[in-house]
Chain A
Amino acid sequence: MPKVTVDGIEIEVPAGATVLQACELAGKEIPRFCYHERLSIAGNCRMCLVEVAPGPPKPQASCALPAMDNQVIRTDSPMVKKAREGVMEFLLINHPLDCPICDQGGECDLQDQTVAYGRSHSRTRENKRAVTEKYMGPLIKTVMTRCIHCTRCVRFSEEVAGVDEIGALYRGEATQITTYLERAATHEMSANVIDLCPVGALTSRPYAFEARPWELKKTLSIDVSDACGANIRLDSRGREVLRILPRVNDDVNEEWISDKARFQVDGLTRRRLDKPWLRLDGKLQAASWDAAFAAIARINPGKSVAVVAGDLIDCETMFAAKKLAEAMGSDLLEGRQTGLDYDCSNLAAVNFNSGLAGIENADAVMIVGSQVRWEAPLVMTRLRKAAKRGAKVFVVGAEWETTVPTTFLGTDLKVLEKLPKDVEAALKGAERPALILGGAGLGKGALGACLALCEKFKLVREGWNGFNVLHMAASRMGGLMLGYAQKGGIADLVKAKPKMLISLGADEVDYTRFANSMIVYIGHHGDKGAHFADIILPAAAFSEKPGTYVNTEGRVQWADKAVFAPGDAREDWTILRAMADALGVSIGFDSFEELRAAMAAAVPALGREGLADYGALPKAPNGAKAEGEIAAYPILDFYLTNPIARASLTMQRCSSELLHGESFAEAAE
């Protein structure tokens, strides 16, 4: 552990730390543009210059200099000040003075650091370099004249995304950042370069000229577009959420989010259900809340009630609905809309036990029936890290582009019973072998066989649990914890022929099987579910209610409310509470706090933030067989997996342009 002195403060830094990290540990701010904690070191912006002794008598780029024992580092000397001023001046030679019309204004590294470290005026008289705009797809807007060539975007696409899409062409002052032949960036995490860009060269296209950062109310929330539970920030103004940004959480999403999580935001204001609807004579007609509840009271279902939960629903809503069903005398709850019926008696068997952060330590990964890139882009970034450290990756299922060296073992699940010798050797020899079972594998009933594999290869050992199930719905783990699982899946609900089916924003259910039930749809979008509903009660989207979400690794997280639901829409739990009155039962809470307390009392894990403990894995069922073929994965279109995304113009365009190859004419500017 080297001991260094930073501005007279003596500190010990971890071996292998850079001078920049040493300075940060000492509490000194080092300005930087190209250096980024999660990317490789480039050392090309020169903004992080400091004075280091012993060493040459000139400023050193601290980001690329290893901290050594007995180094004396100065960040406050006249030399450093002058060096920073000089670098700032060079960077600004070609940077346009268009801050007033730049979307990065107010949250721009270059702007902030110019104020903090630059000179007060410019000495250059020459014309500035101009660079033509580059097309980077429907999500990323480019103003390349502003680019300062930090190459963060290039490094992101190569290292984190794993798809070499962005590159730096030409050289020196003429360097241009571009995608190959200005094709759209297609990776499902590509828009993270917007956050990485320290200037306004890469900005958000859908958010262009929408708002200034200081006008926005920031609300901490949880992403519901997949089951990873990425930590996000909702930036809202008035009653509208304008954009979604990632928050840093090393345990979950580091600081990335998928393009869907970021850009489905415009779907929150489109196709919304903002008043109750009743089906009269086969046609949906707008109604008042009173009329809607009167209609519900008329159903008078008695015990014949079932609840099916959608993919985006928070635990509070599910708990309230469960309480309502219980009060009516029913326990028909289900959240696996598409008919999955895997065994949920032990939640450890359907949990991502390695953890999102843990999986990057795996050294052999077997993926069974999961298109991880689309089902959980954040898990794919972790798997890339693991693969870079030498982990071998095997996939059972149809082939997809994994961005890591992969061995495909075919589509037939039988291979699990008799693995090829080299695969067996790799899993046996691995110190931390892992298995990831995805939706397609669960659908084919491979859970038992995978548990058998888990025992065979000892995936669970001291300090390591390598058995993982990767879900796709934000509500899945919470739902399972609340008992939203029947033995036979949704087929049990069909069999029970409930008089009233309460649908909590469930849009993927085949409602034709419930033709004789009165369907009460509590949701926020006029999507598939609403089309089949007999009574529609407008509810709040994830941005419009506080809620508890449990991600696929069993991490309980809380989201806040950013804005109010539109029109007559209400928070889901209040609707369920009012329904209880209409149906003449009591569900035991009158406020959100009471609801949360009741939920925490019923399922203590939901009352604590952090990983829920599901105990040990169950024994593999006897004679578990793996059969069937995984020829396709459940997600057919990454950009249109939930009602919010389907309503979003941005996501629709991404789908048609990036996945279906349509081209869009660019408006002339």
Chain B
Amino acid sequence: MADRHLEPDSPELRARWGSFAWTKANVAKAKEIVARYPAGRQRSAVMPLLDLAQRQVGAETDTQGWLPIPVMEFIARELDMPIIRVVEVASFYTMYNLVPVGRFHVQVCGTTPCMLRGSDDILAACKKRGMAKGHTSDDGMWTLTEVECMGNCASAPMVQINDDNYEDLTAERLDAVLDALAAGNAPKAGTQEPGRHTVEPSGGPTTLKEMVKANHDYRKEW
């Protein structure tokens, strides 16, 4: 987290992104987002609009997308707010990328539950495939970031790749997911453990077993 930084402002950056504007589809979307908030409070729309802009940049560059300075200035103009407030928001939340990323942004959770369940192996597997923390691979496919808790502790370890979480990973399962992504397929999101659907206890329920089939009143048994 500490190594986050803004992509420096340069003439090339201005030349590439200075004329950023919503696509036709996004014009309507942005309008709808701003309309969610009371008139005069349009600033509240800064976070969804930054997300929308990041996605549009992603679509244009065939990556997850990021937020160049001219794009943030565009959002500031759209919402009639000081640019520094936009940059504050964008730099605070790690899901806004401040520098260019690859096609797939692999965010490995390294917080305690994931670490105990083997996130070190996951990171090692990523590194074996040529990724390095905070860098984009040369072919522009992968960007690796270690992040803090994503709230998937019950199915640790996990990675988040663009919009999907992949959980219950081992090095092999991760490889399978990444191979599928590289091949242009859409691997199943969520848990990768066979037989598990979401974050239910592995091997069947351990508590409230009577409740599985039908509603059961436990109060008499207390």
Interface residues of A (CB under 8 A from B): 129, 164-174, 179-181
Tell me whether B4 is interfacial, beta carbon within 8 Å.
yes
* Residue numbers in B under 8 Å from A170 (CB-CB): 1, 4, 91-92
Q: CA A13 – CA B9 in complex, angstroms?
A: 52
Q: CA A423 – CA B60 in complex, angstroms?
A: 49
* Residue numbers in A under 8 Å from B92 (CB-CB): 169-171
* Chain B nearest CB, measured from A654 CB (Å): 21
Tell me whether B88 is interfacial, beta carbon within 8 Å.
yes
* Residue numbers in A under 8 Å from B87 (CB-CB): 167, 169, 180
> Can you list 28 A-B pairs, Cβ within 8 angstroms, ordered by A?
A129-B2, A164-B84, A164-B85, A166-B84, A167-B84, A167-B85, A167-B87, A167-B88, A168-B88, A169-B6, A169-B87, A169-B88, A169-B91, A169-B92, A170-B1, A170-B91, A170-B92, A171-B1, A171-B92, A172-B1, A173-B2, A174-B1, A174-B2, A174-B4, A179-B84, A180-B83, A180-B87, A181-B9
Tell me whether B134 is interfacial, beta carbon within 8 Å.
no
* Residue numbers in A under 8 Å from B83 (CB-CB): 180
Tell me whether B109 is interfacial, beta carbon within 8 Å.
no
Tell me whether B48 is interfacial, beta carbon within 8 Å.
no
* Residue numbers in A under 8 Å from B91 (CB-CB): 169-171
B residues 4-42 near A (Cβ < 8 Å) are 4, 6, 9
* Chain A nearest CB, measured from B47 CB (Å): 14
Q: CA A166 – CA B83 in complex, angstroms?
A: 10
* Residue numbers in A under 8 Å from B4 (CB-CB): 170, 174
Closest to A179 in B: B84
Number of interface residues of B (CB under 8 A): 14
* Residue numbers in B under 8 Å from A165 (CB-CB): 84
Tell me whether chain A's interface is mostly helix, strand or loop, or mixed: mixed
Tell me whether B156 is interfacial, beta carbon within 8 Å.
no
Q: CA A548 – CA B87 in complex, angstroms?
A: 48
Q: CA A169 – CA B91 in complex, angstroms?
A: 6
Task: Among A129, A167, A173, find the residue whose CB has the most chain B CB atoms closer than 10 A.
Answer: A167
Q: CA A21 – CA B71 in complex, angstroms?
A: 44
B69/A181 in contact, CB under 8 A: yes
* Chain A nearest CB, measured from B155 CB (Å): 26
Q: CA A503 – CA B22 in complex, angstroms?
A: 63
Q: CA A650 – CA B1 in complex, angstroms?
A: 39
* Chain B nearest CB, measured from A277 CB (Å): 51
* Residue numbers in B under 8 Å from A164 (CB-CB): 82, 84-85
* Residue numbers in A under 8 Å from B82 (CB-CB): 164
Q: CA A170 – CA B92 in complex, angstroms?
A: 5
* Chain B nearest CB, measured from A155 CB (Å): 13
Closest to A165 in B: B84
Closest to A166 in B: B84
* Residue numbers in A under 8 Å from B2 (CB-CB): 129, 173-174
Q: CA A181 – CA B85 in complex, angstroms?
A: 12
* Residue numbers in B under 8 Å from A129 (CB-CB): 2
In the complex, given contacts A170-B92, A171-B92, A181-B69, what are 11 additional A-B residue pairs having Cβ atoms less than 8 angstroms apart?
Answer: A167-B84, A167-B87, A167-B88, A168-B88, A169-B6, A169-B87, A169-B88, A169-B91, A170-B4, A172-B1, A179-B84
Q: CA A181 – CA B2 in complex, angstroms?
A: 18
Q: CA A327 – CA B2 in complex, angstroms?
A: 75
Task: Among A166, A167, A179, A180, find the residue whose CB has the most chain B CB atoms closer than 10 A.
Answer: A180
* Residue numbers in B under 8 Å from A179 (CB-CB): 84
Closest to A172 in B: B1
Q: CA A171 – CA B85 in complex, angstroms?
A: 14
Closest to B92 in A: A171
Q: CA A172 – CA B88 in complex, angstroms?
A: 12
Closest to B1 in A: A174
* Residue numbers in A under 8 Å from B85 (CB-CB): 164, 167
* Residue numbers in A under 8 Å from B9 (CB-CB): 181
* Chain B nearest CB, measured from A183 CB (Å): 10
* Chain B nearest CB, measured from A331 CB (Å): 54
Q: CA A486 – CA B85 in complex, angstroms?
A: 52
* Residue numbers in B under 8 Å from A171 (CB-CB): 1, 91-92
Q: CA A168 – CA B91 in complex, angstroms?
A: 9
Q: CA A117 – CA B99 in complex, angstroms?
A: 42
* Chain B nearest CB, measured from A582 CB (Å): 61
Q: CA A164 – CA B80 in complex, angstroms?
A: 12
Task: Among B4, B9, B85, B87, find the residue whose CB has the most chain A CB atoms closer than 10 A.
Answer: B87
Q: CA A164 – CA B79 in complex, angstroms?
A: 15
Q: CA A164 – CA B85 in complex, angstroms?
A: 8
Q: CA A165 – CA B2 in complex, angstroms?
A: 23
Q: CA A165 – CA B6 in complex, angstroms?
A: 17
Q: CA A179 – CA B4 in complex, angstroms?
A: 17
Q: CA A319 – CA B9 in complex, angstroms?
A: 58
* Residue numbers in A under 8 Å from B88 (CB-CB): 167-169
* Chain A nearest CB, measured from B38 CB (Å): 17
Q: CA A172 – CA B2 in complex, angstroms?
A: 9
Closest to A173 in B: B2
Q: CA A189 – CA B85 in complex, angstroms?
A: 20
Rank and list the top 4 A-B pairs by shortest CB-CB distance, nearest first. A164-B82, A167-B84, A169-B91, A174-B2
Closest to B83 in A: A180
* Residue numbers in B under 8 Å from A169 (CB-CB): 6, 87-88, 91-92
